[in-house]
Amino acid sequence: MKLHFSKLRATLALALTMTGAASMAQNTPVKFQLDWRFEGPAALFLVPESKGYFKSEKLDVTVDTGNGSGGTVTRVASGSYDMGFADLASLMEFHANNPDAPNKPVAIMMVYNNTPASVMALKKSGIKKPSDLIGKKLGAPVFDAGRRAFPLFAKANNITDVTWTAMDPTLRETMLVKGDLDAITGFTFTSLLNIEARGVKADDVVVLQYPDYGVKLYGNAIIASPKFLKENPAAAKAFLRAFALGMKDIFANQEKAIETVKARDGIINVPLEVRRLQLALNTVINSPDAHAEGFGQVNMPRLSLMASQVSDAFATKTRVNPDAVWTPAYLPSAKELNVLPKLK
């Protein structure tokens, strides 16, 4: 009898082990890289992770920091990451400069319907409008999206004779405040708050946002490896569903959303990051263009124009093919994408 029960226990244990293994096998691992550090906008991905939305979709998602959109695109292309969050212009540039690359990432959901890039200067510099930048000294890291797209801003506003200084990202706003530069480029919700953190009031900063001055580029999108999409199409769709669900929570409570960022980086300035997230939501996510086109989606004529502009501004080896960088095939339903609050 003891032997019988021993065998029964062994059989049950084996069955439970196999059931657990099968359950775990159902969770698709997804390595995801952000475009930047754990700051306010990182909550867009940390909220669905912490709320269990990814797990509910049978996904095992790992969210890592990045060091710029260009790096994120490259790492997704290399297979180091399955998906990422990157500036669409950087993705276009990669496609056009690497036409023979075997695994060129594809944008599958638009998040920043407008580029967050802007030129920022201190009011005491006398800079009030784009034409005031003529002959001035600007600064930004070489990989900064605003700096890369500045030729488009310059062309749209007849700006000439600008000189550039490159620096580490951590020094950009400091050099502006010290007077080493006349102006900088950067994402508004990043650099403006960094300038404030260095003792300058927001009212003393001039912000020339690219979309306000003729540069209607798309901003950051969720990108994915073609290999991952081919092997895990259901997982890609599930990721976007969970992300959209998380967006509803974020719009409802930004303070709560930043708790997920705090959990990943305990030294962040919580009030500052709440403001950074709110700036991102109000300027480039819940925008009139996003309402017109639909959250997560793009307007193909606008995308085609951007592809042409990036080809020219970045002097790419080949022309950007808009149909190769974007696919709506993995987007959730219209009901699931209905996440944007009414415009005020």
Round to whole Å and give the CA distance between 205 and 195: 8
What the chain holds in terms of domains, given with CATH numbers, is 27-114+219-325 (3.40.190.10), 117-213 (3.40.190.10)
| pLDDT for the residue 175 | 98
Residue 122's pLDDT band, with cuts at 50, 70 and 90, is: very high
| pLDDT for the residue 25 | 58
What is the average per-residue pLDDT within 129-141?
A: 97
Round to whole Å and give the CA distance between 263 and 282: 24
| pLDDT for the residue 21 | 45
Residue 50's pLDDT band, with cuts at 50, 70 and 90, is: very high
| pLDDT for the residue 145 | 86
Is the pLDDT score of 16 beyond 60? Answer: no
| pLDDT for the residue 233 | 98
DSSP state of 170: G
Residue 26 pairs in a beta bridge with none
* Residues 215-252: tens digit of each pLDDT: 989 999 999 999 999 999 999 999 999 999 999 999 99
Q: Which residues make Cβ contacts (< 8 Å) with residue 255, sequence separation at least 6?
A: 274
Q: 51 φ, ψ to 5°?
A: -80, -10
What is the average per-residue pLDDT within 112-140?
A: 97
Q: What angle do CA 129, 145, 30 make, to 5 degrees?
A: 145
Average pLDDT, the chain: 93
Round to whole Å and give the CA distance between 4 and 17: 20
* Residues 288-339: tens digit of each pLDDT: 999 999 999 999 999 999 999 999 988 999 999 999 999 999 999 999 999 9
Residue 23's pLDDT band, with cuts at 50, 70 and 90, is: very low
Q: Which residue has the tokens 């006398």?
A: 126
| pLDDT for the residue 148 | 87
* Residues 246-291: tens digit of each pLDDT: 999 999 999 999 999 999 999 999 999 999 999 999 999 999 999 9
**H-helix or E-strand spanning residue 61:** strand 59-64
User: Higher confidence at residue 26 or residue 193?
Assistant: 193
| pLDDT for the residue 22 | 43
Residue 143's pLDDT band, with cuts at 50, 70 and 90, is: confident
* Residues 57-116: tens digit of each pLDDT: 999 999 999 988 999 999 999 999 999 999 999 999 999 999 999 999 999 999 999 999
Residue 41's pLDDT band, with cuts at 50, 70 and 90, is: very high
Round to whole Å and give the CA distance between 219 and 90: 10
| pLDDT for the residue 2 | 47
* SS3 label, residue 270: helix
What is the share, in percent, of the chain residues with pLDDT greater than 70? 93
* Residues 150-162: tens digit of each pLDDT: 999 999 999 999 9
Q: How many CB atoms lie under 10 A from the CB of residue 184?
A: 26
Is the pLDDT score of 146 beyond 60? Answer: yes
